[in-house]
Amino acid sequence: MIELKHVDKSFGHKEVLRDVGFRVEDGETLALIGGSGSGKSTLLRLMIGLDRPTSGEIWVNGTEITQLDEEELDEVRLSMGMVFQYSALFDSMTVGDNVAFGLREHTDYPEEKIREIIKEKLKLVGLPDAADMMPGELSGGMKKRVSLARALAFGPSIIFYDEPDSGLDPVMTKKIGELIISTQKATGVTSVVVTHDMETACFVADRIAMLYEGEIIALEKTETFRRLRDPRVRDFLRGFAIEEGDLARDK
C-alpha cells in the first residue's frame, strides 16, 4: 500500500507539486498520467525515496518514509522494484548478471539460488533463454522485459514503471502493457505506472490519476475516467482518440 498525504514539493521558489494526496491499494495498478512538466517524474522520485517532499507524508507498506535516513530507506526499497524509462541495463553485463545485480549487492544468497531466481524471473517475462545474451543484442522491448525481471528479483510488493512505453512502436507498446497486466496477476504486486500515454493507462490500470500543473485534478476508475467532462482531461484525451470502452481490459 502507498499513501500520500498533503505532499508539496518545491525547488527554490518553483512549486512543482501542490497538496498531492492519494492512496494505492494492495494489488492495484494505478496509472499516473499528465503532460510534460506536470510533476510526474518528481512524484515518482518522492515515492521511491530518491527525493524528499517539502511537506507532507508518504507511507509505504505502513512506514512513513519522508524522515528516514538512507539506511532505513534502503530497507524500505527492498520491497520495491523499478522499471526505468530506458531500461538502464549495464551494457558490459550479461542479461543474467543484470537481473542478479541487486541480489549480489544486497543479499548473501548462494550462487545456486541466484541462478534459480534469474531463470524464474526471465521465464516470467517471456525471455527464458536470454540469460547469456548481452544487452546490445536485445531489442527495445526485450530490454524492457529484462528491466522488469531485474525489478522482480527481490520479490517486491510494489513495482514502479517509469514511462514503460517510451521509445516503443505501437505493437511493442501493447505487448509491454500485456506484460504489466500478466505480472500483476502472477505476483499480486501493487503497480504504479507513470506515463504520458493515455492508451497505455487505459489498458493497464484499475484507476487513473491525472497531474496538471503539480496538482491531482482527477482520480477515478479507468471506465469512469474516460467519461470525465473536465476540460483539462478532455484536452489530454483528445490527442489519443480515446472512446468509451477503448482498450479497456477485462477487470
Q: What is the pLDDT of residues 159-182, one digit of tens each?
A: 999 988 887 788 888 888 999 999
For a pLDDT cut of 70, what percent of the chain falls above it?
Answer: 95
227 with 187: CB under 8 angstroms? no
Percentage, residues of the chain above pLDDT 90: 73
Q: Strand locations in the chain, DSSP E?
A: 2-11, 14-24, 29-33, 55-60, 63-64, 80-83, 158-162, 190-194, 207-212, 215-221
Question: Where does residue 64 fall: left (phi above 0), alpha (psi -120 to 50 degrees), or beta otherwise?
Answer: beta
User: What pLDDT does 241 receive?
Assistant: 58
Find out whether 42 and 52 touch, Cβ atoms under 8 Å: no
For residues 114-128, give the mean pLDDT: 95
pLDDT at 169: 84
State the residue for C-alpha cell 528516514: 68
**pLDDT confidence band for 244 (50 / 70 / 90):** very low
DSSP assignment of 45-113 equals: HHHTTSS--SEEEEEETTEE-TT--HHHHHHHHTTEEEE-TT----TTS-HHHHHHHHHHHH----HHH
Residue 247 has pLDDT above 50, yes or no: no
Q: Which residue has the higher pLDDT, 251 or 26?
A: 26
Q: Assess whether pLDDT exceeds 70 at residue 251.
A: no
The separation between CA 106 and the C-alpha centre of its own chain, rounded to angstroms, equals 21
Q: Predicted confidence band at 242 (pLDDT cuts at 50, 70, 90)?
A: low
Compute the distance between CA of residue 245 and CA of residue 248 in angstroms, rounded to an integer: 6
pLDDT for residue 94 is more than 90: yes
Q: Give CA–CA dist 169/52, Å, rounded.
A: 35
Rounded alpha-carbon distances, angstroms, from residue 119 to 74, 140, 232: 25, 21, 45
Residue 249: pLDDT band with limits 50, 70, 90: very low
133 pLDDT higher than 70: yes
* CB distance 30 to 191 below 8 Å: yes
For domain 2-238, give the fold: Rossmann fold (3.40.50)
Asked whether the predicted pLDDT for residue 188 surpasses 60, the reply is yes
Burial 36-59 (b: 16+ CB within 10 A, else e): eebbbbbbbebbbbeebbeebebe
Q: Does 243 score more than 70 pLDDT? A: no
120-115-157 Cα angle (round to 5): 50
Residue ranges of domains in the chain: 2-238
pLDDT confidence band for 237 (50 / 70 / 90): confident
Cell digits of residue 25: 491499494
